[in-house]
Structure 1
Amino acid sequence: MLTTLSIKNYALIDSLQVDFNSGLTIITGETGAGKSILLGGLSLILGKRADLSSVKNPSKKCIIEATFDIANYKLKGLFKAEDLDYEPQTIIRREILPSGKSRAFINDTPVNLDSLQALGEKLLDIHSQHQTLQLTNDNFQFQVIDALAGNGNLLQNYSLQLGKYKALKYEFKNLQNQKIEAAKELDYNLFLLKELEEANLVDGEMELLEEEYETLNNIEEISERLAATHELLNSQEIGVIPHLTEAKNQLSKLADFSANYNSVFERITSCVIELDDVFTVIEELQESLEADPNRLNTVNLKLQVLHNLMQKHTTSDISELIQIRDALSEKVSITENLDSVIAQKESEVSSLENELNALAVKVSENRIKAIPGLIGQLEELLSILGMPNARFKVELVPSNTFLNNGKDDLKFLFSANKGGQFNELKKAASGGELSRIMLAIKSILTNYTQLPTIMFDEIDTGVSGEISNKMASIMQQMSKTMQVFTITHLPQIAAKGDTHYKVFKEDVDDVTQTQLKRLNQDERIVEIAQMLGGINMSDSAIEHAKQLLN
């Protein structure tokens, strides 16, 4: 419920702060006193777009702040979904800056208008003449019927399954399209895959093949140079190793004379050991050399195949060719197995479709059971509200399509006069009749669902005194389970309130300002007497006001 409202620098309001209680709250005031300003301020709290022209002093910031007691509203899930800190006493603040930009905060966390609207519609319902158009909306009509039918959990499950169903249908359609496209490409992909598989690709093989090719292709030169090197290293006449060995032997006789001789000896010994090792490797290389024209041809052909494939697929190495091969293999495999995948997906779609149909049937059955009760309650309340001949006809028409709330189309028909033809609400009911129908529906809904704070804006327009008394009784009954505000010009309604506020204008320093004042009992008597008899109250008007209040 709304507990506190603070408005600064908005329209004709300089600064205003007011606390509200539960029950039925009455707001009265002369036409033009500023009741619409209050509604405008609250609309900003609910996420309406800001307008700099509504700021009283454009050089200063406009701030509207409201505190709501939401402990019993079960909104923790919404706060979590919107990534907001949950507080039982939640504060919503809206600021309009001199630049024209606006900011919104929920419990001091900045939010966008979508988040503000998502929370606002759970907290406050401003019912105006414009809002009665909601009555003619199929979604609202379904919400009313489903509230009475107790379809909340069923529809929640249905909505969850419908989301899965749509996703599965989308996947199924994509698979079918994929099959059509894949069939066109299959032959070409198979050809490319066969080429790559026959190449027996091995990562890193290119470098090894190129090295082997260079060896086989230059074997005579390699053999000659290895032989020459072998001779230079170990020939008795010119070989490096015999001479170096002799030098080592000579130095060995000096090694014990000093550390310097020993150091030179050790170094030349290392050289001998290293050259001996090199010589052994050269001998092994000579032994391994063998001319093999057939192998040379094989390697050359394999290199040509690899180069051609890399050029064809615009790659720089074998690893990229392997990736292409694997991707083609997967694509061909998917194409060849697509029929079984599609069949599996079709089975899943069918299973979920059956589950959705079962849920939709149950939802529809509950609606059919609830409709007579809704019609009976509506007609009874409207008779009390001065519409004794009001009649409703609610028809559910089965749909072949899964809709967002089941498989029913709805015809919500109304006749205001005895013997009159049934027609759509927006065609058959006047604005005043729509207001009374909305009041009746809201009254009924309080018995079936948790409604937010509701504010009726002159719902009694065009209503007689006796009917207004009935309206007030209905609002009074609603206020036992929820917070109800009503802006009214009728004393019969004003007298029924638990709390009474008056909106009025006053001039402060030659500037007109709108104020809101909570009336005590004596002030209520005066206000209601003036509503009855005008500014010049008669004694009878005062007595009548006291009687109404009692």
Structure 2
Amino acid sequence: MLTNLQIKNYALIEAVNLDFKDGFTVITGETGAGKSILLGALGLILGKRADLSSIGNPEEKCVIEATFDVNAYALKSLFEEEDLDYEAQTIVRREILASGKSRAFVNDTPVTLSQLSALGARLVDIHSQHQTLEVTDVDFQFQVLDAFADNQSLLSDYKGIYTDFRKKEAQLKKLQKQKEEAQKEEEYKSFLLEELLAANLKAGEQEHLEKAHDALNNVEQITEGLAEAYQVLGREEVGVNEMLLTAKLRLSKLSGFSPQLKELSDRLEAVSIELDDVAEAINDLASETEGDPEELTRLEQRLKLLFDLQKKHNVDSVEALIEIRDSLDDEVQSLNNLDASIHNLEREIAEAKLDLEERAKVLTQNRTKAITPLTKKLEEILTDLGIPNARFEVSLTDSTSFLENGKDQLLFLFTANKGMRAQELKKAASGGELSRIMLAIKAVLSAYAQLPTLIFDEIDTGVSGEIALKMGNIMKAMGTRMQLISITHLPQIAGKGAQHFKVYKEDIAQKTTTGIRVLTKEERIAELAEMLGGKASSEAAFDHARQLLNE
């Protein structure tokens, strides 16, 4: 409920600070006094767009701040969705700067207009005679019927399952599309995979094959070179080993003359031994090296296969081919996983359908039972409001598919005249009748659902006398169950309020301003008397005003 409203520098309002009570509050004032300004300021709090005309003094910013007690509204989930700090006493502030820039805050956290609108829709509900088309909206009609049928808990469960059901349906379509696309390429990818698997690829294989191929491909050159090298080392008289032996003998004879000569003799001995080993190794390798045409052919074919695969897949190594092979294997395997996922989703969707079907059936049964008592209650209220021949007909037909709120299609029909065929509300009811129908529906809703603060903006236009008194009694009864604020020009309604504000204009220092103040009991009597008899109210008007307040 709205507990406080502060307005500064908005239109003709310089500054007001209003404390609101729960129950039924009335706001009165002469035509043009500024009641619409109050609604305009509230509209900014609820997320409506602002412009520079909202600012009274263009040199100062405009500030509207409202405090709401949101304990009873179950709004924690909404605050979490909008990433806002939840406070039982929530403060909503809107600032309009002289530049025209607008800022909004919820509990001192900056918010966007969409966030403000989402929250505002759950806090305040404003209706005027020209804003009653909501009653012709099917979603609103379902809300009324479900509230009367006490479907809230069942409907909440159904919507949770329905949301999950729709997500799974969307996920299934996505997987089926993936499978369809994957199947188009499956045959080719499977062929590529089989080709790579058949190649039996090994990391590092190409380098090893190329070295082996080079060796076999140049075997003659290798054997000739080894033979020549062996001859250079081992030929008699002129071979390296023979000359080294001569040098070694000479140094050996000199080694006794100095340590340096001894060291050189030892080193030459070591070199001689190493050269002997090298010569033997060359000789052994030469005897082992021989041509193998078949092996050479095998190596060439293997290398050709690897090079062809690399060219085909546009890579330059066996390791890259292995990565492609593994990736193709994953993709082919994922198609099998897709089949399993699709099967599981289809099973879950089938189970959800059975669950939804069962709950939708109960929703329909509850709605069907509620139609007669609901229409009877609405017709009784409308009779009190001056439409004695009001008749509602509510039709429920089965939908072929699941909807967000069940499997029903709803049609509200209405006629205000005997002998006339009932038609859709928007065709059958006039503006004044729609206002009274809205009042009747909200009166019923207030008994079965937790409603936000409800503001009626002169929906009593065209009503007077006894009907106005009954309308006031209905609003007073609604005020025992919720916070209801009515901007009215009828004393019969104004007298029913537990709290009474007056909007007025005054000229101060050659400037017209709009003020709002709460009235004392004596001030209320004077206000009601003026509404009954004009400025020059008679004593009878005052007596009538006192009677209205005491009823």
**Normalization by structure 2: what TM-score?**
0.88
Q: Which runs of 5+ in 2 are unaligned?
A: 235-239
Q: Secondary structure at the match of 1:389?
A: coil
Q: Give the conservation status (yes or no) of the 8 Å contact 2:130–2:431.
A: no
**2:314 equivalent to 1:314:** yes
For 1:95, the aligned partner's letter is: E
Quick one: distance in 2 between partners of 1:272 and 1:106? Answer: 96
- The corresponding residue for 2:39 is 39
CA deviation vs aligned residue, 1:167-192 (integer Å, no higher than 9, x gap):
33334434544554444434333332
- Paired with 1:213 and 1:172, the residues of 2 have a C-alpha distance of 54
Asked if residue 29 in structure 1 is aligned to residue 29 in structure 2, the reply is yes
Alignment of 1:77-226 (within 5 A): 77-222=77-222
Mapped partners of 1:270, 1:103: distance in 2: 94
The answer to whether residue 17 in structure 2 is matched with residue 17 in structure 1 is yes
Deviates more, 1:110-119 or 1:342-351: 342-351
Equivalent residue number for residue 237 of structure 2:
none
In 1, the alpha carbon distance for the partners of 2:433 and 2:407 equals 30
Deviation at 1:316, TM superposition (A): 3.3
2-structure distance, mates of 1:213, 1:324: 26
3-state SS, counterpart of residue 131 of structure 1: coil
1:75 maps to amino acid? L
Q: Identify if the C-alpha distance between structure 1 residues 265 and 34 changes in structure 2 by more than 3 Å, giving closer, same or farther.
A: farther
What is the CA–CA distance in structure 1 between the aligned matches of 2:375 and 2:140, rounded to whole Å? 16
What is the match of residue 369 of structure 1?
369
Q: Secondary structure at the match of 2:48?
A: coil
Q: Tell me, yes or no, if the aligned pair for 1:8 and 1:16 is still in contact at 8 Å.
A: yes
Query: CA–CA distance in 2 between the matches of 1:130 and 1:203?
Result: 80
Distance in 1, Cα, partners of 2:82 & 2:327: 41
Closer, same or farther: CA 304–28 of 1 in aligned 2, 3 Å: same
Change (3 A) 1:276 1:108: farther
Match of 1:475 in 2: 475
Which one of 238, 241, 254 corresponds to residue 236 of structure 1? Answer: 241
- Give CA deviations for 1:350-394 in whole Å, capped at 9, x if unaligned: 222222211211111111112122112111211222222111111
Which has the higher Rg, Structure 1 or Structure 2? 2
Give the conservation status (yes or no) of the 8 Å contact 1:465–1:490. no
The equivalent of 1:258 in structure 2 is none
Establish whether residue 6 from structure 1 lines up as the match of residue 6 from structure 2: yes
Cα distance in 2 for residues equivalent to 1:317 and 1:385: 89
Matched, 1:453 2:453: yes
Q: What's 2:528 paired with?
A: 528
The answer (yes or no) to whether the contact 2:172–2:345 under 8 Å persists in 1 is yes
Q: What is the CA–CA distance in structure 2 between the aligned matches of 1:16 and 1:387, rounded to whole Å? A: 40
The answer as to whether partners of 2:241 and 2:272 remain within 8 angstroms in 1 is no
CA contact (8 A) 1:60 1:97 kept: yes
Measure how far apart 1:268 and its partner are.
11
Percent of paired sites with the same residue: 54
| Kept in 2: contact 1:122–1:452 (CA 8 A) | yes
SS in 1 for 2:448: coil
Q: Which runs of 5+ in 1 are unaligned?
A: 256-260
**Residues in 2 aligned to 1:273 and 1:511: alpha-carbon distance in whole angstroms:** 122
Residues 82-130 of structure 1, C-alpha deviations (whole Å, 9 max, x = no match): 1111111111111222332222111011111221112111111112223
1:496 is displaced (CA, Å) by 1.0
Q: Structure 1 residues 201, 18: CA separation in 2 closer, same or farther (over 3 Å shift)?
A: same
Shift in Å at residue 292 of structure 1?
3.5
Q: Secondary structure at the match of 2:537?
A: coil
In structure 2, the residue matched to 1:346 is: 346
Letter of the 1:315 counterpart? V
Count residues in correspondence. Answer: 540
- C-alpha contact 1:232 1:238 (8 A) present in aligned 2: no
Amino acid aligned to 1:325: R
Q: Secondary structure at the match of 1:130?
A: coil
SS in 1 for 2:328: helix
After superposition, the CA RMSD in angstroms is 3.5
Q: Which residue of 2 aligns with 1:415?
A: 415
Amino acid at match of 2:81: A
* Inter-CA distance 493–298: structure 2 relative to 1 (3 Å threshold): same
Change (3 A) 1:265 1:433: farther
- Mapped partners of 2:269, 2:548: distance in 1: 127
Residue 3 of structure 1, CA deviation = 1.1
Shift of 1:462: 0.7
Q: Which amino acid aligns with 1:499?
A: Q
Which moves more between the two structures, 371-380 or 299-308? 299-308
Q: In the TM superposition, what are the counterparts of 1:209-288 in structure 2 within 5 Å?
A: 209-222=209-222, 236-237=241-242, 254=259
Worse overlay, 500-509 or 330-339: 330-339
Partner letter of residue 159 of structure 2? Answer: S
